[in-house]
Copies of this chain bind each other. A is one copy, B any other.
Amino acid sequence: MSGDDILTARLANFIELGQAETEAISNLTRERTRQVGARLDIIREGDVAQYVYVVLSGWAYRYKTLEDGRRQIIGFLLPGDMFDISNRLVREMDHAVGTITPVRLAELSLERIEQAFRQHPKLAEAFDRHTASAMAVQREWTVHLARNAVERIGHLLCELFIRLRAVNLTHGNRCDLPITQADIAEAMGLTAVHVNRTLQEMRSVGLIILKDRVLEIPDLGRLQQAVLFTSSYLHLDLGRDARRAPGTYGSSPPDRATPFRSRID
């Protein structure tokens, strides 16, 4: 999966891709690429992006900076991820995107995208689903407000692992994890010190093995349970399983939250 077809792999999670679409995607990402070094900004807040970018390889992240200097990482961009499709509506970025590792990018011009959409309408649908998936991830990150340190970090690791698996970047129960503990801290709203101690706690009970930028999850199911992770929000299943009927107006919401204590034991 070191090839240029990472975007194909990514979009295949959303729709069935035919030969024609696959080629169209490959061509799209080959036209104009660019390399950015590690720990640099790709786009700053206030910029007006002319392109839609595709991460071909490497890790990046979105972040916002508060006036007093605090920074919050609001999402990670993995190979196969695009940003920002809403750049089609040329507007100022309200956040920045920076790299963690060296990153290879494809720049898709808006005209070429429109053209590809016209020739392959399913591509437009795939892009829309990609956007919807990104939105779902963002919502899930909001839920971190209700989580403690173990849950936040465990949830993040589950999410990253599964997203990497979706583009074939895992090896068994292992994957690269090029982010530092300080990155995790800035993403989860914790201090690096506390992230460190929390990781040690999780290691000590065997939930994770994390060393030299490689993450191993011995028992993904166990980790998911321990931190109440459910992958459904990632919508990586081609979205074909409708369950309940909608429009059941008037049902009452479930009871309020009950007290809780982390279940790492």
Contacts and interface: CB of A to CB of B under 8 A. Distances in A.
Interface of A: 34, 36-37, 39-44, 46-50, 62-72, 74-75, 86, 88-92, 94-96, 98, 125, 128-129, 131-132, 134-136, 138-146, 182, 186, 188-189, 228, 230, 232-233, 235, 239, 241-258, 260
A86 B257 CA distance: 28
- The 10 A-B residue pairs with the shortest CB-CB distance, nearest first, are A145-B189, A70-B257, A69-B258, A86-B132, A72-B146, A94-B233, A47-B246, A91-B239, A74-B142, A138-B138
B250 A40 contact: yes
Given A65-B254, A257-B186, A145 B143 contact: no
A67 B229 CA distance: 9
Given A135-B86, A145-B145, A232 B94 contact: yes
27 contacts: A34-B249, A41-B248, A41-B253, A46-B243, A47-B244, A47-B246, A48-B242, A48-B244, A48-B246, A64-B140, A66-B146, A67-B228, A68-B228, A70-B260, A72-B142, A74-B142, A74-B143, A75-B139, A89-B132, A89-B239, A90-B239, A91-B235, A94-B235, A95-B139, A98-B253, A138-B142, A142-B142
Given A44-B248, A95-B139, 16 more contacts: A34-B249, A40-B250, A41-B249, A48-B243, A65-B254, A69-B256, A70-B258, A71-B146, A91-B235, A94-B136, A94-B140, A131-B131, A135-B138, A144-B145, A145-B188, A186-B257
A128 B127 CA distance: 13
A137 to B, nearest CB: 10
A40 B132 CA distance: 25
A89 B128 contact: yes
